[in-house]
Amino acid sequence: MIMRLYSMYAAILNPMKGLGNPLDQFLYKRQAPREPLFVNVPASVDLEWYSCGNGVIESKFECARLSVPLDYKRPENGLRAIVPIVKFPAESNVPYKGSVLYNPGGPGQPGVELIYLDSFFEDIRSDVVGPGWDIIAFDPRGMGYSIPHGSCNITPGTFVPGRQNATTLPTTPTRSNTRHRRRAPTFPPNNDEVVFNMLIPDDPPSRKTIAYAEADSWTRACQELVSQYNQAGPHMNTVVMATDMLSIAQALAREKNESNTILNYYGPSYGSLLGQYFATLYPDNVGKFYLDGVVDADTWVTQDNANTTIIHVDKIWSKFFSACYDAGPTKCSMFTGRNSHAVRDRFNAITAKLNATKYELEGIPEAPHLNITSLLWTIKGLAFGGGYSPSFIWPLLSNYLVSLETLLASIGSANRDPEVSRRALSEFEKRAEPAVDLYTKISESFYQVACTDARDLRGVEITDADWKVWKAVSKIIGPYKLADRVRCTKWPIRPSWEWYGPVGGKTRTPILFAGTTLDLITPLINSEKARTLFKGAKMLYVDEIMHTVSGTKNRCAARHVLAYFQNGTLPGHDNRCKGEATIFK
């Protein structure tokens, strides 16, 4: 669920590596061009495993491309989709347990290029599944190396030939192989701009106009490039991808000559929704399922989900100030004063200069090259995004805020040359330079899946009351997230296979759900609700500020999850883990 705001803070996160950081899957360098990783890997209805390449990293993995029906409701038409898959093989010196399929979330995150993250799969083995398991990841429909591809932001001529449309082969098994110089003014806040004593200026009126303009532009591009039946658009919904997971499980069973098709699965964030869909549709095929940071399936299909997504955002950010003060000046650059209130007041002094509504409505001139609205959105995006992993992001965010504070103080100083201010702004912007290519690809896929999953929202009006409701849930990010629903009201592509739930039922193996006490986008109430929908399911609670339990590196939680994958042990009354994270280390 992180995609939409990734561009606001991607660059400042680049130094962080490892499964302990849940943002890692966004920080690897993309392969360019895509094709070489799978260039010698033929597609087949069976899993034919090949070396992923000759490099040190690639040689640790095996690659395959699985041919599946483009449309599971009309398989007889001969159109095929290709699902790219990577395998991190189990150790050879321990008893073999089988395979665990992994989806990193999103929607919009490809799984294949996770191989380029330092020790990512090793960390899944040590912290989640334990020894003896093959760990398998795949690129969902329309994403990464999959065919047909779903990108909307490039012209048809730039597609690699054969990638935009579905293929017709193979359909049979083959043999398997292994402005002005002035100081930024300060404005008194309105009462509805204050939450937890934090000053969060409103978005300017142009926010709505921009949201609709972005939605119109995006939907036109997607309709032109990926909306036809033999293209990705009508098949990029969760029910199709859950059935692709069944196809993968069936191919794995054939490979091992197993009579039963059992899928073991680890799905954080949006991956939890894939897991719920699979468990509902194919309950007899459910093996060990660990669903962490759970998406609410009911409100996912309406996209009217403020109260099942962003309810903790403002509270999480309010905890930054006490964490910073407790850490002290050597660890938190925003430290000031005698208590945490002083740190908060320092933040408020920054946001008081970013009242974009005043600038927009009253025509107040900005400093040269300084876009107050852009800075405001960036601050909100950073305050929101920091909640994904405070222990990793908040120290960097602290430096960012001090940099912005310095910039705003320097703008228009009488003894400063305008060129000095421009250079200061340039240096500041480098700290939050968007990773444009990766962000664009991921955010596209997020909306394509979310809006294709949703009931038909075309023509639904987003009213002023809606904007107020979302703002009431989160002043930091509410209106921005409502723009997601705006896009879905413009989305023209309807799925070939429509399925809207409900989720739930009795599964072959009980599911383990998990959540943290303060998750900014998949609150704990979702995990608790999902547990009640699947008979025999259990719940793991972890007292941390983090998106998903896995990102916390909580040793207590790891013991429970490893016990589940190693011997099937589910938590009993000892299902609550205390927080262990130190934010400013």
* Integer Cα distance of 274 and 374 in angstroms: 34
Higher-confidence residue: 213 or 155?
A: 213
pLDDT surpasses 70 at 212 = yes
pLDDT surpasses 50 at 470 = yes
Secondary structure of residue 475 in the 3-state scheme: coil
pLDDT-derived band at 361, boundaries 50, 70, 90:
low
pLDDT surpasses 90 at 173 = no
Residue 191 DSSP one-character state: G
Counting residues of the chain whose pLDDT is more than 70, the rounded percentage is 79
- Mean per-residue pLDDT for 203-226? 87
Mean residue pLDDT of the chain comes to 83
- Mean per-residue pLDDT for 441-450? 80
pLDDT surpasses 70 at 267 = yes
Residue 154 backbone phi and psi in degrees, to 5: -125, 160
CB neighbours of residue 209 within 10 Å: 10
Residue 167 DSSP one-character state: B
pLDDT-derived band at 565, boundaries 50, 70, 90:
very high
Higher-confidence residue: 80 or 354?
A: 80
Q: Which residue type sits at 147? A: I
Residue 123 backbone phi and psi in degrees, to 5: -70, -35
pLDDT surpasses 70 at 82 = yes
Res 357: pLDDT: 77
Q: Which of 102-111, 163-172, 197-206, 506-515 has the lowest mean pLDDT?
A: 163-172
pLDDT-derived band at 438, boundaries 50, 70, 90:
very low
pLDDT-derived band at 403, boundaries 50, 70, 90:
confident
Res 544: pLDDT: 96
Asked whether 146 and 35 are in contact (CB, 8 A), the reply is no
Res 345: pLDDT: 96
- Mean per-residue pLDDT for 205-219? 86
Res 193: pLDDT: 75
* Integer Cα distance of 450 and 435 in angstroms: 22
Res 11: pLDDT: 32
579 token code pair: 């927080």
pLDDT surpasses 70 at 21 = no
Q: Which of 178-182, 334-338, 539-543 has the lowest mean pLDDT?
A: 178-182
pTM, to two decimals: 0.88
Q: Which residue type sits at 485? A: R
pLDDT-derived band at 378, boundaries 50, 70, 90:
confident
pLDDT in tens, 233-259: 999 999 999 999 999 999 999 999 999
